[in-house]
Chains A and B, each alone.
Chain A
Amino acid sequence: MAESKQTSGKPMTLVDPIDMSLLDAKFRDDIKSMPDGEELSACFACSTCTAACPIANQWTYKPHQLIRMILLGMREEVLSGKEIWECLTCFQCQERCPQKVRITDIFFDCKNLAAESGKVPEKVLAIAKELIDKGQLYVVTSDWEREDLGLEAAVPGLSTDGIRAILKETRTGRLVKGGE
């Protein structure tokens, strides 16, 4: 019989014990009350979401673990991790969940909770600033290219006043102000 390579230390399959005193039971209620968070508790940890995720192998915590961590109340670990921001938003996990847990949507909820406490990656904050300053993520610079193709140099109907006025008054405005 082949000898097991792992003779001492904890088995690879076990994770560090969770410190119960650090759990925040309100976390799952917060998520459940957010858009598309209702089905959170239906998760039975089958990890189909993780199998469907094209980048789960890059992550310390896999999608099914993140859902479990939300249910357990590991607010800090989920909201401070890189995983929620690296979610491709490809919806493959959500589409395949046999329990109809809206996983991708829930990760959007997590990002909103992180943003509410000011935790936004620098380059995402730069996008917020673009939206406040310019009202769009891409601005026409090569208008001669448009004219060559028979299009009007300036995009017909374009007005950025509306979006800028809205976002100045919502969280985007507060984040950009706080980041300055």
Chain B
Amino acid sequence: MRPSFFHHLHPPTIPTAQARWRHTLAAGGTAIFLMLILGVTGILEMFYYIPNPEEAALSVQTITYLVPFGGFIRNLHYWSAQLLLIVSAIHLLRVVFTAAYSHPRRFNYLLGLTLFVIVILLDFTGYILRWDVDICYPLLTGTNLLKTIPLIGDALHRIAIGGGDACTSGLLRMYVWHIFGLTLPVIILGVWHAFRVRRDGGIAVPPPQVRTDNARISRNELVRREVLAMFVIGIALILLSSFAPAPIAPAMPTTPAAIGAAASQSARAPWFFLWVQQMLKWGDPFIFGIVIPIGILVLVALIPYIFPKPADSDIGTWFPKSNRFAQITIGLVSFIVILLTLLANAK
């Protein structure tokens, strides 16, 4: 029988090792599924969301409390977005810890990393779209950080939020960034990333000549596993969204004085930027808010280029000796980010 559209998106057969849960952690596939959920729920939210400062938070309240199953859809969008960050991070860790970034996958590693950064920005802009009292301080801090960049800071600030006062006029830019400016690149880069996975020989496993396990599974079996995985994730998301509502806070006030008061009351970054907020307490915002985070990003991006090339037989195996430096680097980065997040949370 000729393959259906969905089957046709997959290679006819793949090595069994590439489809093992303990090898992939299902992170990449889960990320794609979460993105699909985010797309669908996001479009549904757009039917009610009103991107102007006076009505935005009220429209979020309308979605949450008044639209039939609106609260559920919003929770689904929220939890999918949070899980996407976690799953993306796991995906990145898996790729480094199994030396999967190595040639010929170096370019796709950069594509993936870019996707991760955009997903973080999507989470941040989505958080800002709540436009309630809790978002003002993080928006102000985040966008003021851009201004600290020499020469191009002001221009970047204008590109990000239009250059005005963040908490009174930044909403429309944040909305357009969220819906188009970041989502379109995610779609394009995401498709490219998936295409490159296949073009680069599928999920990284040792090359055929050094492979011990030469078993293969068919695309039918692969799709079955994907369907089952989607069911499991779907059920988990439904339950999570039923019991754990997405955060919401009182609407942003409209007078500057009241906005200022609201901003000072909620001086807490969203959880994925708590590590940066913690560093900002230490001094120069440009150093701690821009240079160090970007430095860390550049360091992670350079992993395939600056460290010794892992042995071919090590590619696709967990924690091989030949890429110890890369493992230590990503391990240290993860440890520091988690530690800073916990420190910020503790106070």
Partners in one complex: no
Give the interface of B toward A (CB within 8 A): none
